[in-house]
């Protein structure tokens, strides 16, 4: 009896499998030791190990005795939850239940930074086409710039499922790296004088928002978005549904369940299921490195777009009413990390400059902006590609 019969997994092991097991271990290390998005990176890292041991029963295998395919549990989860988009949409319910839109009601103009900071998505998409990707793949790569895991998964699973693994790893890794990516870009684009600008929005911080307005908001947004772009309804609708559960005041148990149990359960399944696309043959390609590089490009230019838009608006605003350009960088969807990073940067320059509230307003706007961007890409790409 040879090694192949006794230990088929070892006989079938290649250097690519070992590299992927190493990648899985690195993701687990980043999750545990560095606390980088552990909710996703740990399941993804562990899943990468599961699927890169040859003949793993976690994946569909052909039974050599019968020639029949034996379904692996991760393939079942993938077909049921990712291919159908159910898992990311359930996460949207959870995210919606966690969002408080009252900072946005206090500073509604900051919603526009949620638009400007999606600039990196489209620039990256164009750059990806220059590198030879087709429109669908380029859009799936560009959406990493949404800084929104579920949106990235929905777009990638629809347009480029073969790239879902590296896109997910890039999206979640860079979301965790926002404190490292954004500050140098912001310092490059702004002067010290601009970073010292104090926002004159202190008067808005105590403004009270009516419960009726917070209840009506998700309903009206869903109807408006659905009429304008029906293909965005699954993303925006599920986000707003979660928010309505939170704000209605009569479903506190459901709201708590959505924010905790639903979020945790689906995240566990989502993370480990995405890993089913991280097999050595799919992941160890030049494409993966290019996608990871393009993901960083997208995040950098998201920050660029937000900051430059703020500087542009300041050309038309009087002294004393200027916007601190760093707030523009909060228009990405990485909530609340981006807001905290910008507040800390502001405090470093001037300990009496409190940018947290306007930063959170812009950051909440970014959460809506990323979902709208995803909806627009889901609408436009099938029409034109």
Partner 1 sequence: MTPTIQTALFIAVVGLAGIFVFMSFFYLIILALDKYLPYQEEKPVEEFIEEISEEEESEE
User: By CB under 8 A, is residue 380 in contact with partner 1?
Assistant: yes
User: By CB under 8 A, is residue 312 in contact with partner 1?
Assistant: no
Total residues interacting with partner 1, rule: CB under 8 A: 48
Closest approach, Cβ 103 to partner 1, in A, equals 11
User: By CB under 8 A, is residue 114 in contact with partner 1?
Assistant: yes
Q: Pick the binder of partner 1 from 19, 254, 265, 376 (CB under 8 A).
A: 376
Closest approach, Cβ 233 to partner 1, in A, equals 13
Q: In the beta sheet, which residues pair with residue 69?
A: 62
User: By CB under 8 A, is residue 135 in contact with partner 1?
Assistant: yes
Q: Are 114 and 330 in contact (CB under 8 A)?
A: no
H or E segment to which residue 69 belongs: strand 69-70
- For 201, half-sphere exposure in the C-beta direction (CA atoms, 13 angstrom radius) is 25
Q: Choose among 265, 260, 274: nearest CA to 77.
A: 274
For partner 1, the closer CB: 95 or 104: 104
Sites for partner 1 among residues 340-369 (CB under 8 A): 365, 368-369
For partner 1, the closer CB: 73 or 380: 380
Dihedral angle of Cα 337, 339, 345, 346, to the nearest 10 degrees: -160
Q: Are 363 and 338 in contact (CB under 8 A)?
A: yes
User: By CB under 8 A, is residue 175 in contact with partner 1?
Assistant: no
Cβ-based neighbours of 218, under 8 Å, separated by 6 or more: 96, 240, 241, 243, 244, 247
- Hey, what are 9's tokens? 């997994």
Closest approach, Cβ 134 to partner 1, in A, equals 6
Pick the stretch among 35-43, 91-99, 165-173, 210-218 that binds partner 1 (CB under 8 A).
210-218
3-state secondary structure 88-105: HHHHHHHHHHHCCCHHHH
SS3 assignment, position 61: strand
- CA–CA distances in Å: residue 345 to residues 277, 324, 352, 358, 371: 38, 11, 12, 14, 27
| Neighbour tally for 22: CB within 10 Å | 13
User: By CB under 8 A, is residue 228 in contact with partner 1?
Assistant: yes
User: By CB under 8 A, is residue 138 in contact with partner 1?
Assistant: yes
Q: Choose among 231, 283, 246, 266: nearest CA to 150.
A: 266
Closest approach, Cβ 286 to partner 1, in A, equals 19
For partner 1, the closer CB: 345 or 368: 368
Q: In the beta sheet, which residues pair with residue 61?
A: 70
User: By CB under 8 A, is residue 212 in contact with partner 1?
Assistant: yes
Closest approach, Cβ 207 to partner 1, in A, equals 8
For partner 1, the closer CB: 129 or 162: 129
User: By CB under 8 A, is residue 104 in contact with partner 1?
Assistant: yes
Q: Pick the binder of partner 1 from 12, 22, 108, 184 (CB under 8 A).
A: 108
User: By CB under 8 A, is residue 290 in contact with partner 1?
Assistant: no
Q: Choose among 202, 178, 223: nearest CA to 320.
A: 202
Task: Give the footprint of partner 1 on this chain (CB under 8 A).
Answer: 104-105, 108-109, 111-112, 114-116, 118-119, 121-123, 125-126, 128-130, 134-135, 138-139, 207-210, 212-213, 216-217, 220-221, 224-225, 228-229, 365, 368-369, 372-373, 376-377, 380-381, 384-385
């Amino acid at each position: 009896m040879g090694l192949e019969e006794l230990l088929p997994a070892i006989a079938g092991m290649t250097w690519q499998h070992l590299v992927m097991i190493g990648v899985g271990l690195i993701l687990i290390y980043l999750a545990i030791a560095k606390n980088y998005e552990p909710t996703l990176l740990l399941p993804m890292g562990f899943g990468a190990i599961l699927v890169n041991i040859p003949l793993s029963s976690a994946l569909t295998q052909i039974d050599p005795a019968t020639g029949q395919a034996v379904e692996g549990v991760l393939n079942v989860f993938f077909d049921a939850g990712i291919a159908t988009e159910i898992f990311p949409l359930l996460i949207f319910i959870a995210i919606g239940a966690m969002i408080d839109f009252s900072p946005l009601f206090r500073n509604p103009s900051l919603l526009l930074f949620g638009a400007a900071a999606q600039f990196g998505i489209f620039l990256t998409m164009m750059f990806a086409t220059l590198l030879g990707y087709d429109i669908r793949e380029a859009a799936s790569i560009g959406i990493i710039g949404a800084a929104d895991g579920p949106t990235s998964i929905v777009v990638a699973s629809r347009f480029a499922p073969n790239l879902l693994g590296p896109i997910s790893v890039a999206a979640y890794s860079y979301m965790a790296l926002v404190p490292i990516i954004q500050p140098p870009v912001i310092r490059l684009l702004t002067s010290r004088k601009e970073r010292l600008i104090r926002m004159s929005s202190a008067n808005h911080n105590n403004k009270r928002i009516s419960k009726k307005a917070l209840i009506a908001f998700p309903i009206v947004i869903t109807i408006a978005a659905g009429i304008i772009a029906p293909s965005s309804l699954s993303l925006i609708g599920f986000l707003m549904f979660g928010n309505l559960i939170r704000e209605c005041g009569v479903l506190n148990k459901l709201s708590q369940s959505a924010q905790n149990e639903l979020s945790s359960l689906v995240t566990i399944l989502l993370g480990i299921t995405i890993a089913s696309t991280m097999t050595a043959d799919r992941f160890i390609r030049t494409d993966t490195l290019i996608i990871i590089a393009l993901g960083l490009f997208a995040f950098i230019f998201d920050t660029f777009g937000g900051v430059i838009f703020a500087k542009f608006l300041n050309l038309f605003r009087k002294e004393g009413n200027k916007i601190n350009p760093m707030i523009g960088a909060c228009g990405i969807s990485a909530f609340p990390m981006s807001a905290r990073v910008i507040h800390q940067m502001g405090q470093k320059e001037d300990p009496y400059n409190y940018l947290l509230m306007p930063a959170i307003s812009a950051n909440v706007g970014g959460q809506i902006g990323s979902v709208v961007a995803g909806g627009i890409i889901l609408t436009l790409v099938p029409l034109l590609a």
